[in-house]
Amino acid sequence: MFRGGFAGTLVLVVLGIIMFAAILAFLTGVDMPGDDTMFSTTGPRIVALVALLIVIGGPMLAAPRQIPALLRGLVLWALLGLVLVGGYAYRAELEDAGRRIMGTLWPGTAIEDRAGTITVVRDQSRQYRIKAQVNDAPVDFVFDTGASAVTLTQEDARAAGIDPETLSYTVPVSTANGTSSVAATVLNDLQIGSLRLSRVRAFVARPDVLETSLLGLSALDRLKGWRVEGDRLILEP
């Protein structure tokens, strides 16, 4: 019994010393030199500090036997506060990590950082598939530096408001299956994430020639730069 009472008294003494030191630091270590309005700036902080000390110390003084439980609760709240403060301090890094995770889970999703740089993660087929919009219509592209221009399939062209039947397929091109011909057109709007290009030179492929639309050089050359780092394609607007 004596040991328990002595331990409780010791805890109260330590808490009293900490509170007294906190008050001294609070009153003497905050104000800027040459400030003539010391009380006007310090007074409200004194009130807030005293209220905090009463909230923390009051239950301990009223119920000494509950001090261990109260201290455990105080430690838990302090740890929670540190986690929240740390999360806020490193929010930019956490946002970037979240974007990288999302890009890995959903390949083809344009992951954009604060500078506007767009990152696309390579999929299981080892290709960079990019989700974009052409004239406000969703189009899935394959990144292809071998294509001199953005090239749409017949289906994607129709979705973008282009009628393939009215086009003239007179431009010769080389494909993996030999030679073919495509129709020249202009895309009013091409958007990847927040990156937006207008009046983009493009081709429309003949039926059944192309499985997926190609993001070619007519769009890539409009960017500040692009590069491949490991399994990531990085587009700089």
Strand partners, 107: none
Q: Exposed, middle or buried, 6 (CB in 10 Å: 0-12/13-18/19+)?
A: exposed
What is the domain partition of the chain in residue ranges?
2-89, 96-236
Average pLDDT over residues 39-45: 54
Average pLDDT over residues 117-137: 90
Of residues 75 and 103, more confidently modeled: 75
Average pLDDT over residues 17-36: 52
What percent of the chain shows pLDDT beyond 70? 58
Residue 230 has pLDDT above 80, yes or no: yes
Cβ neighbors of 10 (< 8 A, separation 6 or more) are none
Sorting pLDDT into bands at 50, 70 and 90, what band is 21? Answer: low
The DSSP output letter for 27 is: H
Residue 30 pLDDT: 47
What is the DSSP secondary-structure string of 193-210? TTEEEEEEEEEEPPTTT-
Residue 57 pLDDT: 61
Residue 19 has pLDDT above 80, yes or no: no
What predicted TM-score, i.e. pTM, was given to this entire model? 0.58
Average pLDDT over residues 60-75: 65
* Six token digits for residue 29: 């270590």
What percent of the chain shows pLDDT beyond 90? 39
Of residues 161 and 101, more confidently modeled: 161
Of residues 158 and 46, more confidently modeled: 158
AA identity, residue 224: K
- Of 2.40.70.10, 3.30.390.10, 2.130.10.10, 3.40.50.300, the CATH number of 96-236 is 2.40.70.10
Q: How many CB atoms lie within 10 A of CB 219?
A: 26
Residue 52 has pLDDT above 80, yes or no: no
Residue 2 pLDDT: 46
The DSSP output letter for 166 is: G
Strand partners, 183: 169, 204
Residue 1 pLDDT: 46
Q: How many CB atoms lie within 10 A of CB 128?
A: 21
Arithmetic mean of pLDDT over the chain = 77
Q: Are 95 and 88 in contact (CB under 8 A)?
A: no
How far apart CA 64 and CA 68 sit, in angstroms, is 9
